[in-house]
Structure 1
Amino acid sequence: MRKSKSVFVCQMCGYESSKWLGKCPSCGEWNTFVEEIKEDFSSERGDIIITEKPVPKRLSEVSYSEQGRVKTGLEQFDFMLNGGLVGGQVLLVTGEPGIGKSTLMLEIAKTLSKLGKVLYINSEESNEQVKMRAERIGLKDEDIFLYPEITLESISENLLSKDFKFVILDSIQNVLSLRFSSSPGSVTQVREVASRIAEITKYKNLITFLIGHINKEGAIAGPKTIEHIVDTIIMIDQDPKGSYRILRTIKNRFGPTDNISVYTLTSRGFKEVFDFTLVSKDSPPLIGSVICPVLEGVRAVAIEIQTLVTQTQFGYPKRTSDGIDVNRLYMLTAILDKYLDTKLSMYDIYLNVTSGIEVRETASDLSVLFSILSSLKNKEIPRDVGIFGEVGLGGEIRSVPFFELRINELVRLGIKKVICPKGKNYSFPNDINAIQIDDIYGVLEFFR
C-alpha cells in the first residue's frame, strides 16, 4: 500500500514544509504555500521509465562532432545556439503570452520534419487550432504528428515506444502526472514532468523543446529546478514598440550565453532581421541623448541612452535608471563630482535606455557621462557620434573587449565620429574620425 502524507509546497521555489507558513524560508516570498498530497512511489519509478541501465564508458571512447549539429532552418537561431541543435538536448522556450512561442516552434518543426519524425504535444490547443496556425505559416505535408495529451504517463509511453526524433511540448505547465494529486502547473507537477521528459530525451537521444510560461515578475514559472534540468533556456522578448521579437539564450550548455537573434512576427510567421537596429542616426539630435554600441552575447547592438538632469526639489537628490544598474549610475555621478566638480548633488538624474535592453556591461560608462553632461550643460550631441568605454574610479577611461565589433556596428549605422578609450593596437576605417581619450578630463573638453 502506498504511503501518503500532506505537505505544503512553495509555488515559487518548491520548498516543502509539514505545516503552512506565511513566508517561505527558502525564497522569502509570502503566501506561496499550497497543500499537496505526497505519495511514496520510490518502488515504482524505475519500472516506468527505462529498463536498460547505462554502463561506465571511457571518455576517450566517446565520439562527438561539431558537424553533427542539427540545423533548424533559421540562420540566426542556429547561430544563437552555436551552430545548431545537439542530440539529447532539452530546450526551454519561454516568454510573454502571445509573443509567438507556438508559432516559432511550428516554424522550426517545418525544417526538422525533413530530418525525422516530429511529435508536437499540443496540451493547450486542439488539433484543429494547431492546424490553422500551421497552414497560416505554410506548413502542410511535413512529417509532424499532433498529440493532444496532458498526462505524463501517456506521453512517456509514446516517446519510448515510437521512433520520434524531435519532440515539442506545448506547454509544460499544462501537463500533469497521475502520480500526484496537485493540479497542472504546480511546482511538484512541473518538476516531475521536466525531469521525466529530460530523462527520456537523454536515453533515446531525442531533441526536445519545452514551451514554458512566465510569472507576473517576468521569471520562468515553476521551480528553479527546471532551469537546472534543461540544457538550454531561450527567452523571447520584444522591443517597446512591439516591432521585433528578440530571442536570447540565458543558459546554454553547448555554447555561449546571452546570444541574441532578432525576428519580426508577420501573418506568415517569423521573419529573420539581419540589419537589426534600435536607433536612427537620421533623427534630430536631442539634449542628453547618446548612441552607444553594447554587446549582446557575441553581437554588437547600438542603443540610445537618454538622461534628464533637473534641479532637485528636496534635500536628497533622486537617481532613477531604467536599463542600467542604478548603483552604476551612483558611481558615475560620484566620479563626475570628484574630478569635474559638477555638483550633481543639487540635481535629480533620470536615465533611460530607450531600446528597452538591459545593459549588463561597463562599456556604456563613457556614454552615460556624456549623456549626463549633455543634459546638465544643455548641449546637444550630434547623431553621427558613437561613444563607448569603461570609466574607472580614478577617472581613467579603460579599454573594453570586442573593440572591432563595436566599431563595425557604428560604421553600419553610418556613424562618422567615434569617442572611445586610447589604445595602441586599435585600427579604424578611413572614413571614421576617432577621438581617443584616456581620462575624464577629455570628456569635459567636448563641452567647452
Structure 2
Amino acid sequence: MAKAKSAFVCTECGAEYRKWQGQCSSCQEWNTLSEIRLASARPGSGAATGRSGYAGDLSRDVVDLSNVDLSEVPRLSSTFAEFDRVLGGGLVPGSAVLLGGNPGAGKSTLLLQTACKLAQQRRILYVTGEESLSQVAMRAHRLQLPTSGLQMLAETSVETILAVADREKPEILVIDSIQTMHLEDISSAPGGVAQVRESAAALTRFAKQTNTVLLLVGHVTKDGTLAGPKVLEHMIDASLLLEGGADSRFRTLRGQKNRFGAVNELGVFAMLEQGLKEVKNPSAIFLSRPEQQAPGSLVMVVWEGTRPILVEVQALVDESALGNPRRVAVGVDQNRLAMLLAVLNRHGGLFTGDQDVFLNVVGGVKVLETSADLAVLLAVVSSLQNRALPKELVVFGEVGLSGEIRPVPSGQERISEAAKHGFLRAIVPRANAPKQAPKGMEVIPVDKLSDALDAL
C-alpha cells in the first residue's frame, strides 16, 4: 500500500513545505505551518496520452477570445441594498462568497434574514453546523422573520450535505460555518487547514457545476483576520468581512475580494431588536456631533468603493510624562500618523516630539486611503493649539513628504457630498478645486501644508 503523501502549509501566506519547521520562510511568522494530506494522482484510463505523458480530456475545443459570449450574468438580489452594494450588484449564480467576522458581529443573523426573505420565491438550503435547528428557529421567531419555505439541515459532513443539495437542487446554499465541516477521507479535525481547504473546494466545485450560489460563514482569528485566509482566497469569488464591536450598534460590511464587483466597498448596518437594518445614509450616523465644537475635532470626506462618506476624526495632543511619547491611532495606520507628524514638524513648524498624540476615527470606521492626511494634521494642530475649528469646515487631501498637498480621486463628488450635509467651507487640494463651487459653499484650494495652516 502506497504511503499517503503530505505537505505543510502556512495558514498566513499559503506557502507550502515538504517538512515541518517552526518559522515560515515567506512571511516570517512562527508556528503557522499545518499538515495537509495530498491526494494521490490517478492514472488516466483509456484516455489519450501525449508526449509529455499527460492523460486528460482532449474533446474540449479552444475558443477565440473575440467569440466569448459577453452577455451579463443575471444577479439575485439579497433583499438588502447595502449587501448588494458590497457584492457588486447582487448574488451571482455559481459564485462562492465567504462572509467573515468576530463572534457576535451578526454573520448568522444577516444570512438568516437574507435566506428567510428569499425563501418566499426561491429554493434555499440553510445548513447549520454550529447550532441546532431549534436554536435557528428561535432566532428567526425572535427576529419576526417569515419561516415558511426555508429548507434547513443540521449537518457537518460535506458528503451528506452534497447529497442532500443534489437531491433538493437549491438556488442558494448557506454553510454556517466552514470551520465545522469535515470530509470523511481526511483524518484531521474539523477547523484544520486540510479540512477547511478540502471542504471549501468540494462545496465550491458543486456550486460551479450546478450554478448554485454558495454562501460560507468564516471565523476570525485573535488578530481579526479570517482563519486560514490564504487557504481559501483562491477558491472563492468574494470575501466579505462584517466588522463591529459588542459595544457598538453599527456594523460595517467591507469587501476584501470580489471577482464580480469593486473591492473595498462598504455597507453599513444597524443592529436592532429585529436584526440587522441597513443604513441608507452612513454619513448621517458618523456626524452626530455636539453643539459645542471641541478642539481636535474635524470632519473629512473618505471614499469607500463607489461613494463618499463623511466621518469625524478626533485628535488629542497632550504633554508626555514619558521619555518616549506615545503615538496611538484607531481607524488609521499608526505608521502613517508618525510620518505625518514628521512632515508637520519639518514643513509646518510645529514640534510634537515631546507630546503624546492620540487619534480616533469616530464610529469605528477604518480609513484605508490617503485622503485623510490633511484632516489628520489639521485636527492635531487644533488640539495642539487648543483652538476649536469651525463646525461647518470639511477637509480632505493627501500630504506628501515635502509638504505638498496632492489631489485625491473623485474630488468633485466629495465636495458635493459635503455640500449636501450643510458644510459651508472646504479646504481641498488645488487640483481638486471645482471651477464653480456648490451654491453657498466656499472652497479653499491649497498647494502646501503651510497654505492649509494659513487658511485656518
TM-score normalised per structure 1? 0.89
Q: Secondary structure at the match of 1:304?
A: strand
Q: Does 1:442 align with 2:448?
A: no
Partner of 1:4: 4
Partner of 1:375: 383
**8 Å contact 2:263–2:305 — kept in the other structure?**
yes
What are the residue-to-residue correspondences of 1:49-448 with 2, within 5 Å? Answer: 55-56=60-61, 58=63, 59-66=65-72, 68-140=74-146, 142-222=148-228, 224-238=230-244, 241-276=247-282, 277-313=285-321, 316-423=324-431, 425-446=434-455
**8 Å contact 1:136–1:268 — kept in the other structure?**
yes
2 CA distance for matches of 1:69 and 1:385?
41
Partner of 1:28: 28
**8 Å contact 1:238–1:245 — kept in the other structure?**
yes
1 CA distance for matches of 2:7 and 2:311?
49
Partner of 1:49: none
> Aligned pair in 2 of structure 1 residues 22, 370: CA closer, same or farther (>3 Å)?
same
Q: Deviation string for 1:268-290 (max 9, x for gaps)?
A: 22211112231224442111111
Which consecutive residues of structure 1, in runs of 5 or more, have no partner in the other structure? 47-51
> Aligned pair in 2 of structure 1 residues 265, 318: CA closer, same or farther (>3 Å)?
closer
> Aligned pair in 2 of structure 1 residues 41, 150: CA closer, same or farther (>3 Å)?
farther
One-letter code aligned to 1:298: T
> Aligned pair in 2 of structure 1 residues 340, 10: CA closer, same or farther (>3 Å)?
closer
CA RMSD of aligned residues (A): 2.9
Identity of aligned residues (%): 37
Of stretches 211-220 and 314-323 in structure 1, the one that deviates more from structure 2 is: 314-323
Q: Deviation string for 1:30-62 (max 9, x for gaps)?
A: 3445667x475544999xxxxx99934634554
Give how far 1:414 is off. 2.5
Q: Secondary structure at the match of 2:203?
A: helix
> Aligned pair in 2 of structure 1 residues 86, 34: CA closer, same or farther (>3 Å)?
closer
2 CA distance for matches of 1:355 and 1:83?
26
Q: Secondary structure at the match of 1:107?
A: helix
2 CA distance for matches of 1:130 and 1:44?
46
One-letter code aligned to 1:55: R
**8 Å contact 2:116–2:147 — kept in the other structure?**
no
2 CA distance for matches of 1:279 and 1:196?
46
1 CA distance for matches of 2:7 and 2:214?
32
**8 Å contact 1:190–1:223 — kept in the other structure?**
no
2 CA distance for matches of 1:67 and 1:375?
52
2 CA distance for matches of 1:11 and 1:339?
43
Give how far 1:67 is off. 6.6
Q: Secondary structure at the match of 2:233?
A: helix
Give how far 1:390 is off. 1.6
**8 Å contact 1:319–1:330 — kept in the other structure?**
yes
TM-score normalised per structure 2? 0.87
**8 Å contact 1:2–1:39 — kept in the other structure?**
no
Q: Secondary structure at the match of 1:73?
A: coil
2 CA distance for matches of 1:160 and 1:60?
35
Q: Secondary structure at the match of 1:147?
A: strand
Q: Secondary structure at the match of 1:408?
A: helix
Give how far 1:382 is off. 2.1
Partner of 2:54: none
**8 Å contact 1:417–1:433 — kept in the other structure?**
yes
Which consecutive residues of structure 2, in runs of 5 or more, have no partner in the other structure? 46-56
> Aligned pair in 2 of structure 1 residues 202, 61: CA closer, same or farther (>3 Å)?
farther
**8 Å contact 2:140–2:147 — kept in the other structure?**
no
> Aligned pair in 2 of structure 1 residues 308, 54: CA closer, same or farther (>3 Å)?
farther
Give how far 1:5 is off. 5.9
One-letter code aligned to 2:93: G
**8 Å contact 1:417–1:434 — kept in the other structure?**
yes
**8 Å contact 1:185–1:222 — kept in the other structure?**
no
> Aligned pair in 2 of structure 1 residues 5, 231: CA closer, same or farther (>3 Å)?
closer
Q: Secondary structure at the match of 1:345?
A: coil
Q: Secondary structure at the match of 1:344?
A: coil
Give how far 1:306 is off. 1.8
One-letter code aligned to 2:23: K
Q: Deviation string for 1:103-155 (max 9, x for gaps)?
A: 11122113432443111111112222222222333433543211111111112
> Aligned pair in 2 of structure 1 residues 440, 7: CA closer, same or farther (>3 Å)?
closer
> Aligned pair in 2 of structure 1 residues 238, 283: CA closer, same or farther (>3 Å)?
farther
**8 Å contact 2:220–2:226 — kept in the other structure?**
yes
Q: Secondary structure at the match of 1:229?
A: coil
1 CA distance for matches of 2:337 and 2:446?
21
Give how far 1:18 is off. 6.2
> Aligned pair in 2 of structure 1 residues 2, 114: CA closer, same or farther (>3 Å)?
farther
Count of matched residue pairs:
442
